[in-house]
Amino acid sequence: MVRIGIIGLGYWGPNIVRNFSSTGDARVAAVCDKNPVALKQFAQNNPGIKTCSESREIVTAADIDAVAIVTPVSTHFELAQAALGNGKHVFVEKPFTDSVAHAEALIELAEKKDLVIMVDHTFLFTGAVAKIKEIIDNKELGKMYYYDSTRVNLGLFQHDINVIWDLAPHDFSIMNHVVTDRPVALSACGRAHVSRFEDIAYITVFFTGNLIAHINVNWLSPVKIRSTLIGGEKKMLVWNDTNDDEKLKVYDKGIDVTTKESIYDLLVSYRSGDIWTPKIDKREALKQECSYFTDCVANHKKPSNDGRAGLQVVRQLAACDASLRLNGETVAL
Amino acid sequence: MVRIGIIGLGYWGPNIVRNFSSTGDARVAAVCDKNPVALKQFAQNNPGIKTCSESREIVTAADIDAVAIVTPVSTHFELAQAALGNGKHVFVEKPFTDSVAHAEALIELAEKKDLVIMVDHTFLFTGAVAKIKEIIDNKELGKMYYYDSTRVNLGLFQHDINVIWDLAPHDFSIMNHVVTDRPVALSACGRAHVSRFEDIAYITVFFTGNLIAHINVNWLSPVKIRSTLIGGEKKMLVWNDTNDDEKLKVYDKGIDVTTKESIYDLLVSYRSGDIWTPKIDKREALKQECSYFTDCVANHKKPSNDGRAGLQVVRQLAACDASLRLNGETVAL
Amino acid sequence: MVRIGIIGLGYWGPNIVRNFSSTGDARVAAVCDKNPVALKQFAQNNPGIKTCSESREIVTAADIDAVAIVTPVSTHFELAQAALGNGKHVFVEKPFTDSVAHAEALIELAEKKDLVIMVDHTFLFTGAVAKIKEIIDNKELGKMYYYDSTRVNLGLFQHDINVIWDLAPHDFSIMNHVVTDRPVALSACGRAHVSRFEDIAYITVFFTGNLIAHINVNWLSPVKIRSTLIGGEKKMLVWNDTNDDEKLKVYDKGIDVTTKESIYDLLVSYRSGDIWTPKIDKREALKQECSYFTDCVANHKKPSNDGRAGLQVVRQLAACDASLRLNGETVAL
Amino acid sequence: MVRIGIIGLGYWGPNIVRNFSSTGDARVAAVCDKNPVALKQFAQNNPGIKTCSESREIVTAADIDAVAIVTPVSTHFELAQAALGNGKHVFVEKPFTDSVAHAEALIELAEKKDLVIMVDHTFLFTGAVAKIKEIIDNKELGKMYYYDSTRVNLGLFQHDINVIWDLAPHDFSIMNHVVTDRPVALSACGRAHVSRFEDIAYITVFFTGNLIAHINVNWLSPVKIRSTLIGGEKKMLVWNDTNDDEKLKVYDKGIDVTTKESIYDLLVSYRSGDIWTPKIDKREALKQECSYFTDCVANHKKPSNDGRAGLQVVRQLAACDASLRLNGETVAL
């Protein structure tokens, strides 16, 4: 039985509590929040779980094996460092940390202490992303041309980070998970309209090969769009996450190019075939992830979404900030 | 009666012929194409119209008042220069020319000769763009935040230009037409996968104020998307050009920000109201434009989509190419 | 404080428990279910609520004011009769009863005892239906032409009723609520494919005037459709309940008819104007209804969705069964 | 070379002219219309085709082999009788005739004279219907449960027929073409709101087995819907004719029923698998049909959409009228 302490009962925290509670080999031992109102309400609805307002009580508790940190990103480093320092495994919200240096320090500490770090990249545990990874791993798309994501809606404004740090971790973590090419540089442009943080941003990512990726994030859109187009030489797919019944469509569509005599003398022909909408596993992603974390802790396994995966995303977010300050100049990764 | 000579019977040329033919005060006097097959087929179906294979015959003909140039962009300058030099008004396909210098030279020549140049920015004559301009001119959106266009499909590859020169003239001409802020710089990233020309590109445009624009063009998408989101302080609109029945939706949706004490202490609240789908005039845009050209020629009027409007677009396209070569570095306009 | 006893913890029961629990002036005093597994699980999650397996304990309890009956329709009459007989107000699932006679008997008993009966026609408490009623009451549609509902999906098969008794109560209760014309007869056709109960049925309802209504219910559809078209002389509306963001659209669209000389010499012209998508209140309907029931009980008010409203629906369902047996012959209401 | 005479240049006639003109082995020899304006305009645009205002000239012309009748249904019988009587093959608009007796008389006459009758059931020549027929013929759906079509929009009012005779011929001809079960009876309900002809109607068709079909036709809908759901024991399909890119979807979805001990003790389980959107041939249906007619005439073949197929539809339309007059009572076919 893995005993979990949870810090943070804000927007996402209750979901973490609920899912660890329903994971067979885990038990929520205690929760912590600085907000007395949230804490009291939680205590009433969950009489069996200890509550406290000081995170120190969680990270030092003898009867806690792992700490879930579900707080603003600016606090991740200090809390995770304290938890690891006290020999606790760590489950931490995305983005992992607010800087590359902080992420590296935590990874080093966890390795020294032989502890698990898992970064909550929930989307990796959805049926849709699992199916996309399967399709790409099976080489069904052929050589990859582009990865193009739009993630916009009238969003909750974050008070300590810009729209990139809020929304793009989803796209970076998914892209890093399913794409095998290595990203080498990126360019980001954005503007702040409502607060001092960018609320709209456009990110382009370059890879070792010819693959190009693009991420459009926007807190000011009247419509909610969650769509990703992935184009390859042989097939293309569209993941529309707001369409519950047809989330994923694979198009047997593409371009056949024949070079005649000279390289500039192309014969381009279009292929247009069937569309296939695979059945997507509808399991709750967070439940899968909590169960995976429990398994990794109990059986000394290294998760795929570990600290290094979290660091890669933080490195990409930091590069976005650097490019933003340079008005879109390309920044190496 | 304005007598029109038309050069080019490729993909778009027949539409130009058909629309000038049905314009009351215009008459198609002659057409020209180097391809004998296309020319012969045209002659059979249109016994009343002269045909020729040499553009010189068109630009020098005594019984022709205006020349429509519907050929690849690399030929626009030479043909337009010859037409203007022979005292003919010019209607020319988008993009106006293949370089800023060429556009400037043609404008100067036309002014010297007191002739009309109209660049075929067809979208400006659609009911949708007319309605968007009306909404923005009426200040219904309030202060503008962003202009975000996606124009992707499995596209016909052009053999002499990249996807930006093919598709982005639509977006630039529309944006220049409806947005009152002045664009000052842009950044463009792209990649070529199938030929030596970029088939995918992402453009970000910066303005004097805080407005930001973005254009996503792609010849390799399995789905056709033609959507533009325009966000303002008071309202936002979505133009979905592939939805015939509900092309335009205006959202009474936005964010109200109240600053408390310090600037970093924001109270953000969301407004969500009705959606309004205005009726769009379904007239054929090209017919309106041909009629407008005829009127400008007959009555010595200066069109709004004149050489200068065409030059502005060419300047933006050339800046995109410059930024592409610099991997997305910002280029001033 | 209204003390509620709830009978039935099946598919819908837990929603009733949750909503009465969160209604300020109500308290769930006890729940009952014959299934020991469901009962035990409920008890664990809700330590503060009494549980029992015999409905008699609920209907006779001294500390219960009102009984919510959330059981199969065949049991409604007996349970409601017992509850009313013991002086309890009754909240009962749709359809009210399995026969007209049973409904009439319960209404009579409730009136004699001065008790409230509310039939759970949840849809009446949605923002969409409230807005439709407002639009029709304001005469915006003009004279009503038709009411056409499609309610199909791959449905849970009921083991004791056909698809009409399962799905059509929604449509009948909504139609009776928003339409002012009086239905006078109906015709129903259907077929059973999977069990002995019809799984597909088509119902046409006739009114005193020229209004016609139609209800298409189907448990065997691969796609979920929940759409209602309401057409009037002046405007028309479409309610698409599966479209969360644009549930309701009002079309300024219609036909203007001018009679020339003879009645058979019509000039028909089409009007096509804007579409208006009103903002819909997103409150949870069942919560509103539970609160309304509590208010009616506490303050001796007669609910609009009372026994008589429930009887009208049962009368329509019974007429459908009669017409089904006559292969679609029209049956008077 | 089959020489075609065409009677009627109204809404559909020009399409018939255009398609026979582009059919290799056919030639449009003459066209006829009573309207001098339409005739004159046609003559100007088609100098090579003879025109006349009297149908007698067409049906008696020595240099015409076949007559296409593209006029209101009330005139079909007289014109087709005259054409057949003069030894001409006949291509006639749907519905074939205005009565069963008229259809039977024409079939007899054509057989006596060994002439071809083809009824213009254009939809049978679409890629979508061809694919549906292929899927059903391959037994992919398994035992068929239902065929449910909705064909509604703000329609052009016909001045001599009701909405059933206008729109339902499409559905009846398609259903007769793809369904192998035999329809034995039908019920129809409708109402007239704008003229004396029904503008809204609901038709239910019964078959020898358990299959049930339904057709919803409406001239007064604010939205255009052209959708057909076909459900079978093994799979189900949805044909959405307004969705150009995904007209047809085949759902690997259904219900598995296991009977335990008694017939009333069912175990129902749901299957939900992939969705398959087959590529649809985008050929113009009418062009295929005109080519097929030409081939049948030239090579003495009997078309599948011959007089008997047309008669079956007329029989179904006439049964609808009979049921309408009986308020939906079932009428045998």
User: Is residue D260 very low, low, confident or very high in pLDDT (cuts 50, 70, 90)?
Assistant: low
The count of other CB atoms within 10 Å of the CB of residue A22 is: 13
Give the CATH number of the domain where residue C98 resides. Answer: 3.40.50.720
CATH number at residue C139: 3.30.360.10
Residues B99 and B238 in one domain: no
Which residues of chain B make contact with C277, given a CB cutoff of 8 A? Answer: 249, 274-277
Residues in chain B: 333
* B→D interface, C-beta within 8 Å: 47, 223-224, 245
**Domain that residue B99 falls in:** 2-121+285-302
C249 domain-assigned: yes
Asked if residue D268 is part of any domain, the answer here is yes
In a shared domain, residues C233 and C297: no
Q: What is the SS3 assignment for A285?
A: helix
Q: Is residue D159 part of a domain?
A: yes
The pLDDT, as a whole number, for residue D47 is 80
| Whole-number pLDDT of residue D140 | 96
Examine the pLDDT at D258 and tell me if it is beyond 80: no
C209: tokens are 């005037």
Residues A326 and A259 in one domain: yes
D→A interface, C-beta within 8 Å:
246, 249, 252, 272-279
Closest CA to A76 of A160, A156, A196: A160
Q: How far is C217 from chain A (nearest CA, A)?
A: 20
CA closest to B224 among chain D residues: D245
Same domain flag for D298 and D194:
no
A194 found inside a domain: yes
Reduced to 3 states (helix: H, G, I; strand: E, B; else coil), residue B119 is strand
The larger pLDDT score, comparing residue D228 to residue C160, is at D228
Contact B276 C273 (CB under 8 A): no
Q: Does residue C193 share a domain with residue C80?
A: no
Are A274 and D274 in contact (CB < 8 Å)?
no
Same domain, D216 and D94: no
Among C143, C160, C191, the strongest candidate for a mutation testing the D interface, having the largest count of D CBs within 10 A, is: C191
Max CA-CA distance within chain C? 78
Residues 6+ away with beta carbon under 8 Å from D259: D265, D266, D267
Q: What is the mean pLDDT of residues D324-333?
A: 93
Q: Which chain A residue lies closest to D278 (C-alpha atoms)?
A: A274
Give the pLDDT confidence of D35-75 residue by residue, as tens digits: 999 999 899 878 889 999 999 999 999 999 999 999 999 99
Asked whether residue B264 carries a pLDDT value surpassing 60, the answer given is: no
> Do B107 and B158 have their domain in common?
no
Measured in angstroms, the CA of C255 and the nearest CA of chain B are apart by 16
Within this chain, do residues A324 and A181 fall inside the same structural domain, yes or no? Answer: yes
* Contact state of C246 with B275 under an 8 Å Cβ cutoff: yes
Nearest CA in chain B to C276: B276
Q: In whole angstroms, how far apart are CA D24 and each of A83, C145, C150, D1, D2?
A: 82, 49, 46, 8, 10
Cis peptide before C95 (omega within 30 of 0): yes
Q: State how beta strands C212-218 and C144-154 pair.
A: parallel
pLDDT at A265: 55
Query: What pLDDT is stored for residue B261 in this prediction?
Result: 56
CA distance C172 to chain A (A): 28
- Residue in D closest to A271 by C-alpha: D279
In the predicted structure, residue A188 carries a pLDDT above the cut 90: yes
Reported confidence tier of residue A269, pLDDT bands at 50, 70, 90:
confident
Whether residue A256 is predicted with pLDDT greater than 90 in this model: the reply is no
Residue B193 falls inside a structural domain: yes
Query: Looking at the 3D structure of chain C, how many domains does it have?
Result: 2
Residues D274, A273: C-beta atoms closer than 8 Å = no
- Centre a 10 Å sphere on the Cβ of residue D112 and count the other Cβ atoms it contains: 9
Residue type, D3: R
pLDDT above 60: residue D263: no
Q: Are residues D30 and D64 in the same domain?
A: yes
| DSSP secondary structure, A212-236, as one string | EEEEEEESEEEEEEEEEEEEESS-E
Subunits with at least 3 CB pairs below 8 A relative to chain D? Answer: A, B, C
pLDDT at site D160: 85
Q: Kindly list the residues of chain A whose beta carbon comes within 8 Å of any beta carbon in chain C.
A: 47, 223-224, 245
pLDDT at position A254 is 81
Residue contact A193–B145, C-beta within 8 A: yes
Asked whether residue A232 is domain-assigned, the answer is yes
Q: Classify residue B208 as exposed, middle or buried by CB count within 10 Å of its CB (0-12, 13-18, 19+).
A: exposed
Most B-contacting residue of A181, A221, A274, A320 (CB-CB within 10 A), to test interface: A221
What's the rounded mean pLDDT across residues B96-107?
A: 98
Of D145, D189, D229, the CB nearest to C204: D189
* A215 assigned to some structural domain: yes
**How many CA atoms lie less than 13 Å away from B211 in the CB half-sphere?**
24
Residues B197 and B221 in one domain: yes
Looking at beta carbons, which residues of chain B come within 8 Å of C279?
A: 252, 272-274
pLDDT (0 to 100) of residue B311: 98
pLDDT band at A47 (very low <50, low <70, confident <90, very high): confident
Average pLDDT of the segment spanning C258-275: 70
**Is the CB of A274 less than 8 angstroms away from the CB of D277?**
yes
Is A250 contained in some domain?
yes
* Residue whose entry in the numeric block shows the structure tokens 């459709």: C225
This prediction has a pTM of: 0.94
* Spatial CA neighbour of D89 closest among D112, D118, D130: D118
| Closest residue by Cα to residue B190 from A230, A213, A208 | A213
Taking only Cα atoms into account, the Rg of chain C, rounded to an integer number of angstroms, comes to: 21
CA distance C37 to C39: 5
| Inter-chain residue contact A210 with B192, CB threshold 8 Å | yes
pLDDT range class, residue B260, cuts 50, 70, 90: low
Q: What is the CA radius of gyration of chain A?
A: 21
In this predicted structure, the answer to whether residue A146 has a pLDDT above a threshold of 70 is yes
The answer to whether ipTM exceeds 0.85 is: yes
In chain A, which residue's Cα lies nearest the Cα of D276? A276
Q: Does residue C1 carry a pLDDT above 60?
A: yes
Task: Report whether pLDDT(D26) > 70.
Answer: yes
- Interface contact D212-C206, CB threshold 8 A: no
CA distance C181 to chain D (A): 15
Residue B304: the pLDDT is 96
Q: Are B131 and B146 found together in one domain?
A: yes
- Is the same domain home to D260 and D297? no
- Whether B15 shows a pLDDT value over 60: the answer reads yes
The alpha carbon of residue A224 is apart from the nearest alpha carbon of chain D, in Å, by 22
Comparing B287-301, C259-273, D299-313, the range with the smallest average pLDDT is: C259-273
Query: Is the pLDDT reported for residue A267 higher than 80?
Result: no
What pLDDT band is residue C177 in, cutting at 50, 70 and 90?
very high
- CA–CA min distance B174, chain C (Å): 23
The Cα of D231 is separated from the nearest Cα of chain C by a number of Å equal to 7
